[in-house]
Structure 1
Amino acid sequence: MGVLTWLLIPVVFAIGAAIWGSWASKSHTVGDMAELNGYARFRNAMERDPAE
C-alpha cells in the first residue's frame, strides 16, 4: 500500500499541474479590455485642461 501511495502522489501533482497549465494559458482578454478602457479614460482625464 505504501508503494501505491508513493506512485499516486506524483500522478496527482501531474494532473494538477496540467489543469493549472491549461487554465493559465487561456486568453483573459475580457478583463484586459476593461482595464485598457479604464486607463484610456484616466489618460483623457489627465490631458484635459483644468480650466474647462
Structure 2
Amino acid sequence: MAALAWLLIPLLAAVGAGVWGTWASRNGKVSGDGSELAGYARFREAMEKSHSGG
C-alpha cells in the first residue's frame, strides 16, 4: 500500500501541473503590460521635459 502512495504522489503532481499549465495559458484579458508600458512612456516624456528645460 505504501508503494501505491509513492506512485500516486508524482501522478497527482503531474495532473496538478497540467491543470495549472492549462489555467496559466488561457486566453483571458491580458493585464499589466499595456498600462505599465504606457506609464513608462509618460515617465520618459516627463524626464525629457525636465532635462530639456534646464
Q: Same fold (TM over 0.5)?
A: yes
| Corresponding residue for residue 25 of structure 1 | 25
What is the TM-score of this pair, normalised by structure 1? 0.69
| Identical aligned residues as a percent | 55
Aligned partners of 1:34 and 1:21: how far apart in 2?
Answer: 25
CA distance in 2, matches of 1:26, 1:37: 24
Q: Which runs of 5+ in 2 are unaligned?
A: none
- Unmatched 5+ residue regions in structure 1? none
Aligned-pair Cα RMSD in Å? 2.1
- Count of residues in correspondence between the two structures: 51
- Displacement of 1:31 in angstroms is 0.5
TM-superposed deviation, 1:7: 1.4
Instruction: Quote the offset at 1:24 in angstroms.
Output: 3.9
Query: Which ranges of 4 or more aligned residues in structure 1 deviate by more than 6 Å?
Result: none
Normalised by the length of structure 2, the TM-score is 0.67
